[in-house]
Amino acid sequence: MRELGDTITSVSSDPATKVIILRSEGEKAFCAGASFDELISIQDIETGLKFFSGFAHVINAMRKSSKLIIGRIHQKAVGGGVGLASSVDFCFATTSASVKLSELAVGIGPFVVGPAVERKIGVSAFSQLAIDATMWRNAEWARRKGLFAEVHPDAAALDEAVRRLSGILSASSPQAMAEMKKIFWKGTEHWETLLFERAAISGRLVLSDFTKNAIAAFKAK
């Protein structure tokens, strides 16, 4: 997460970069969320804060970037993956890109990604995802709520849509896009501290017996 955030910050200052495309490798999940093995390895509050601050670092890098960011969500997104999809400026997906905020099911909560998700889809839809933490919402639900701008039938159509928009943006005014980005993200300046405060909540809760037992139960399935 630190590397991803630093990379976004680095390319954002490169005049040769016109637009950023956020995608993941392979054909499986876009992002399956935090690793259970990494979560159960957290033994103190400081380590917990550092772990969850990774998501805060990436989201802040994305919102502060002067470049418009396109999301390519080819498959399912869970937890932090929904946060990443919410933090891009324009998000394409396939019909296979279901979403879920599963944190409450393991005794935590989508605290760090919450501001980004709420900003994108509103309090009502965010609370639905956060409370009903074991329920998948399909890509059409995500499109209706504003998380996805477009939903395409397969990866080939998805890539064509990404190429089309990125080509248009590459020929657009960098200054105009940077100014638009400022407008889109106006009012989020306090996230520089808010997201790390939220990370501290998750870092504390992950140490609870409830979370450790819940993760053990999921791993045993």
Q: Is the pLDDT of residue 188 over 90?
A: yes
Nearest-angstrom CA–CA distance, 68 and 62: 9
| Alpha carbon 43 to its chain's center | 25
Three state DSSP letters for 95-156: CCCCEECCHHHHCCCCCCCHHHHHHHHHHHHHHHHHHCCCCCECHHHHHHHCCCCEEECCHH
Nearest-angstrom CA–CA distance, 136 and 138: 6
pLDDT at 11: 96
Q: Is the pLDDT of residue 186 over 80?
A: yes
Q: Is the pLDDT of residue 218 over 90?
A: no
**Helix or strand or coil: residue 45?**
helix
Nearest-angstrom CA–CA distance, 89 and 100: 20
The DSSP H or E segment spanning 40 is helix 36-40
Nearest-angstrom CA–CA distance, 9 and 59: 11
pLDDT at 35: 85
Q: How far is CA 154 from CA 9, 93, 100, 150, 158, in A?
A: 30, 9, 20, 12, 6
pLDDT at 36: 87
Q: Which residues fall within 8 angstroms of residue 161, CB to CB, at 6 or more apart? A: 92, 150, 152
pLDDT at 84: 97
Q: How far is CA 94 from CA 29, 100, 138, 153, 183, in A?
A: 12, 15, 10, 6, 28
Fold exhibited by the domain 2-216: 2-enoyl-CoA Hydratase; Chain A, domain 1 (3.90.226)
What are 46's strand-pairing partners? none
pLDDT at 37: 87
**Full-model pTM:** 0.95
pLDDT at 221: 77
Tell me the pLDDT of the chain averaged across its residues. Answer: 96
Residues 21-79: tens digit of each pLDDT: 999 999 999 999 888 889 989 999 999 999 999 999 999 999 999 999 999 999 999 99
Give the domain ranges of the chain: 2-216
Q: How large is the average pLDDT for residues 141-164?
A: 98
Counting residues of the chain whose pLDDT is more than 90, the rounded percentage is 93
Pairing verdict, β 90-94 and 69-73: parallel
Contact in structure between 87 and 63 (CB atoms under 8 Å):
yes
* Exposure on the CB side of residue 91, measured as CA atoms within 13 A: 28
Q: How many other C-beta atoms are found inside a 10 Å radius of the C-beta of residue 218?
A: 12
